[in-house]
Structure 1
Amino acid sequence: MTNFSNNLPILRRRAGYTQEYLAEALEVSRQAVSKWESGATLPEAATLLTLAEVLDCTLDQLMREELADDIPSRAERQAVDEEARFALFVAYDRHMDRYALTVAGGVMLIMFGLGLLISLVGMGSTSGLVVVPLLLCVAAAVFLFIFGGVSHSDFQKAHPVLPEFYAPEAAAGFNRAFRIGMAVSVSAIVADVALLVMLTAIFRHDETMLLFSVALFFFILGAAVGALIFLGMVQSKYNLKKYMENAAIVRQSAGLGAPDEPGMK
């Protein structure tokens, strides 16, 4: 007794072949393949040998064994690979955005802390507690820098090699927004300096207002510098080659060496 009619469609699907493709490979008609799978006919012995070679299986698997259709086909495996690739892309994209926001946020906190300190002094506070807000901002910034750096290092160790996620159009689209954002941020810094000069001239005889003017300068400067850092770091995520070079350095410094897998293609 043969299990040929049961095994043939299973092995064909595992190989990712349609009846038409298999028929072309064997130089027979699609109807012949359909009759084999329905059990109406059997191929000749020479065709069986060719069939086993095309399907990358043994004659026993083709004729005798009772195969179960429990192994994913090539198309199913490719679908799983694509799903894993997309999940990795989402993880990388979100991680790089969070990392950029963490570093930019730390810089902004330090600038804002200086602004708060100067504002409190301008309000007439003479207590030593006036430096507490600045110290809290600096402490929070240090936490963000360390947390962001460790998280980024761990991500690089876990994912040292990445496929090319971004289409050229995606990078080009961000570069347009990047140039606009950089122009706005730099213009804000220049305008901030101009505003400080103007307010200094206006309030040159009013120490309190001078201090508030300087505090305002640091608030605006912190926002603008933070935006510059964020935009620059987000832009870097599109340079996957540079990311992988840095990841290799991180792994080597941690004694992990080169990754075992070449990465997803």
Structure 2
Amino acid sequence: MDLLADPATLLTLVGALVLAGAAIGFLAGLFGVGGGAISVPVFFEIFRVLGYPAEIAMPVAVGTSLAVIIPTSIMSARGHHAKGTLDLDVLRIWAVPILGGVALGAVIARHASPAVFQAVFVCIATINAVKLLSGGKGWQLRDSLPGRWAMRIGGAGIGLVSAIMGIGGGAVSNLFLTLHGVPIHRAVSTSAGVGVLIAIPGTIGYILAGLGKAGLPPASLGFVSVAAFALTIPTSLLTTRFGVALAHRLTRRKLELAFGVFLTLVATRFLIALIG
């Protein structure tokens, strides 16, 4: 498609990227999630409109999503750290296992059907949403985090799922933490840090995986669209601070309800994609 010959379509695509960036940044600050649940489908649809086949559009959407998550997660994590609710000890334990999970996820994503991983995400998001919306009664496995080996296994699983889906891992890490007695504000804040641990190696992996691939969009670095990244980042960085501020103004119950509704919408979107 020649976008220069169709300025209306060009303006629509640019507007969609700018609005997606604003939503990604706000969600990163509010829930400690990377915003991939929004950016992946938006990027995918835009590349499909531009005429790229699904086998190109999907990995580019995921890789670009992970790239966008890097600055938004860093800004969100810094904001929550300033509020004193970012658990650096958890992030230190998870750093290496998450890296391993992300690396394995990048390899598996090249061979397995996306439907398998969409189904996994629907299950995780639905369980977390029900837990949050019901108030969490009876959903706590224990009153404290498990030992280091169990934590490492959990971190590897979070990295694996997140790399495949192009998300920052906030929904998965939040579920793990709250099931082990971590308060919702602290879980949300620490999940923002998880986004940093996942997005950086994930982006590098998708860049390397796409190098030399034929048929990529212009201005792409492997499976990362530099053009989409550049249009999305300004508004995402602008709105992240507002999400952080709102997260710490909400009561525990209101934050749980808001996050639960968000995860329900995300799970519904993936479920529709699975059965569509």
* TM-score > 0.5 by shorter chain: no
TM-score (norm 1): 0.24
Bigger relative contact order, structure 1 or 2 (CA pairs below 8 A, ≥6 apart) = 2
TM-score by length of 2: 0.23
> Over alpha carbons, which structure has the higher Rg?
1
